Amino acid sequence: MSQAEMIAASEGQEAEARHPALSSYAARDGCLLIGETPVTQLAERIGRTPFYAYDRVKLDTRIALLRKHLPMTIALHYAVKANPMPAVVQHLRGLVDGFDIASPLEMQVALDSGMSPRHISFAGPGKQPWELRQAVAAGVLVEVESETEVSRLAEVGEALGIRPRVAIRINPDFQLKASGMRMGGGAQQFGVDAERVPQLLGELRGLDLSFEGFHVFAGSQNLHAELIVETQEKTVELLLRLAQHCPAEVTHVNLGGGFGIPYFPNDKPLELARVGEALAELLPRLTAEMPKARPIIELGRFIVGEAGVYICRVIDRKVSRGEVFLVTDGGLHHHLAASGNFGQRIRRNYPVAVATKMDVPSEETASVVGPLCTPLDLLADKMTLPRAEVGDLIAVFQSGAYGLTASPTAFLSHPQPAEALV
């Protein structure tokens, strides 16, 4: 089997299967192309390894796919935390309808891109008064996550003489089942419990706040269309139940997202068409009750995850008691998720390839490790790869989301990786 076929076929207990996301990558003379550029040339352009490279054409294609399958009435928001690189956010500014941010620095990047504050919403528990001041001064929508936050927001508005825009983030009484990360349902630090929302809406009437609507986010990294559809139905039902309690007309309805991407060989890509069809059937019920609201789907990894690749270089090739270790200049400190330590229950290999040997058959079992003094620093565990030598480049795919900024770059004090939008 050539590496082109093997490219993402992780070894081990799981059946080897071609990774669906990687069919979009080409090679020339055995060298992986990123955009149109051979990865070796890109490494020269950037001047060093390791680096993350994000492909703007892949971002365009991804948004086009979403627009094709989701109803026209849906507004598409990008969750900046998935990849806050300013050039990426800037590029997406022309492609999506809004940004969801989770900190003042993300807000800065979002505003710098030229996105109107009307289309920026700020979520996240524990927003401090100074953060709320910045948000209110900017004119972005604050998605409050507690009763405390509501009174803080009102105080900030009074101090600034600006009427804050507010929506309530709801912790629903259901969850998005089989998600990589559960962020709604049961007891949560996120949002206001659904059963307390009517009372909070009553309190809003007495405050100088401009109420706009709701935000429900029930989970993340979900590959099951039927579960996403079920959650969206429950979300709409919840919102319809709350409609009668609202102090003003609802203009903002964020239905969440949670669309996942396939990381591992047995992961099946999400059937986006099914989600889109179900939404098209569901939305009229919502818009009948809330005609001024354009429902929002907010996505992070689904937009950027497959557009990014992490590249590092083989610094040493070691054989220890019969096992091959490719020691690279990259690792857990740059790409925590690929090491399996970013919330995964079981460690599985991300799709990995020897980017400079794409035409060479995969014939040896090797582990790709980094320079850190911890056995957790593992990018590929006993994968079948072409024989790699010192100087070869290693590619970790599906790395466009929760890469650099989700990694402990200060751990062991090595240099930061570079980033490029290609």
Ligand X SMILES: *Cc1c(COP(=O)(O)O)cnc(C)c1O
Which of 25, 20, 18 lies closest to 57, judged by CA? 25
Nearest residue (CB) to ligand X, 169 versus 357: 169
Per CB under 6 A, 239 contacts ligand X: no
Q: How far is the CB of 211 from ligand X (least distance, A)?
A: 19
Work out how close the CB of 367 gets to ligand X at its nearest, in angstroms, rounded to a whole number. Answer: 28
Q: Which parts of 269-408 are beta strand (E)?
A: 296-299, 308-320, 323-328, 352-354, 364-369, 378-385, 393-396
91 closest CA partner among 68, 59, 53, 51 = 59
311: closest CA among 84, 53, 103? Answer: 53
Taking the least distance from each CB to ligand X, the nearer of 117 and 184 is 184
Q: Of 165 and 301, which CB lies nearer to ligand X in the complex structure?
A: 301
Judged by CB under 6 A, does residue 302 bind ligand X? yes
Nearer to ligand X, 238 or 324 (CB): 238
Q: Half-sphere exposure of residue 80, counting CA atoms within 13 Å on the CB side? A: 32
Report the residue from 51, 217, 350, 397 that binds ligand X according to the rule CB under 6 A: 217
Q: How far is the CB of 81 from ligand X (least distance, A)?
A: 5
Best CA proximity match to 30, nearest among 360, 290, 282, 328: 360
CB of 252 to ligand X, least distance (A): 14
| Residue of 325, 378, 326, 379 lying closest to 351 (CA atoms) | 379
- Find the helix or strand (DSSP H, E) in which 154 lies: helix 147-160
From 257, 330, 400, 417, residue interacting with ligand X (rule: CB under 6 A): 257
Residues 129 and 52: their CA atoms lie apart, in Å, by: 35
By CB under 6 A, which span of 74-82, 112-120, 156-164, 392-400 interacts with ligand X?
74-82
Neighbours of 123 (CB within 10 A): 23
Site map 166..185 versus ligand X, x via CB under 6 A: --------------------
Tell whether residue 228 is a contact of ligand X (CB under 6 A). no
Site pattern 92..111 for ligand X (x: CB under 6 A): --------x-----------
Contact 182, 138 (CB under 8 A): no
Please identify which residue in 278, 401, 420, 421 interacts with ligand X, judged by CB under 6 A.
Answer: 401
Among 22, 46, 76, 79, binds ligand X (CB under 6 A): 79
Residue type, 324: V
Q: Which residues bind ligand X (CB under 6 A)?
A: 79, 81-82, 100, 123, 217, 220-221, 257, 298-302, 401
